Amino acid sequence: MHKTGLYYGSLAIVIAANLGYHLVSRSIPVGGNQFLGIAGAYLLASVLCFLAGVLTRKGPLLKEWKETPLHYLLFGLFVPGLEAGFILMYHDGWQVSQGALVADILTSTLLAVVGVALFHDRLAGINWVGILLCFAGVIMVAL
């Protein structure tokens, strides 16, 4: 059922990157322009992604570039809000132990509903109970 051997490895990458992301976001000092800082971060990320793309390509670089879906550009619409939102949350007093948890649980539960509505994902009754418990947890954590 798993398409690659990275089923759990990819989860580990997400967890490690997410931990680093939030720890760094929480430690960014107040001051300066968040959007210029984020632009610098994404300039570095662009260079790293380009190098990784070159190293992992299976064919000519230009051909692979042309075959890359434009959907990746849509990320660019949401990245500034995501990055600045977390930085501003932490600057405005959210604790790292609560801010990411509340945002991620709310996002995940909304994505579960969207997944069912738009992508015909299937959730069992126990999954819906879990979603309700997540909302209850958010209320308890955010109080």
Q: What is the pLDDT of residues 52-91, one digit of tens each?
A: 999 999 999 999 999 989 898 888 889 889 999 999 999 9
The confidence score (pLDDT) of residue 44 equals 96
* pTM for this predicted structure: 0.79
Query: Whole-angstrom Cα distance, residue 67 to residue 90?
Result: 39
Query: Whole-angstrom Cα distance, residue 71 to residue 30?
Result: 33
Q: Which residues of the chain have pLDDT under 70?
A: 1-5
With contact defined as beta carbons under 8 Å apart, do 66 and 60 qualify? no
The confidence score (pLDDT) of residue 12 equals 87
The confidence score (pLDDT) of residue 117 equals 95
Cβ–Cβ contacts within 10 Å for residue 101, how many?
Answer: 17
Query: Whole-angstrom Cα distance, residue 132 to residue 109?
Result: 9
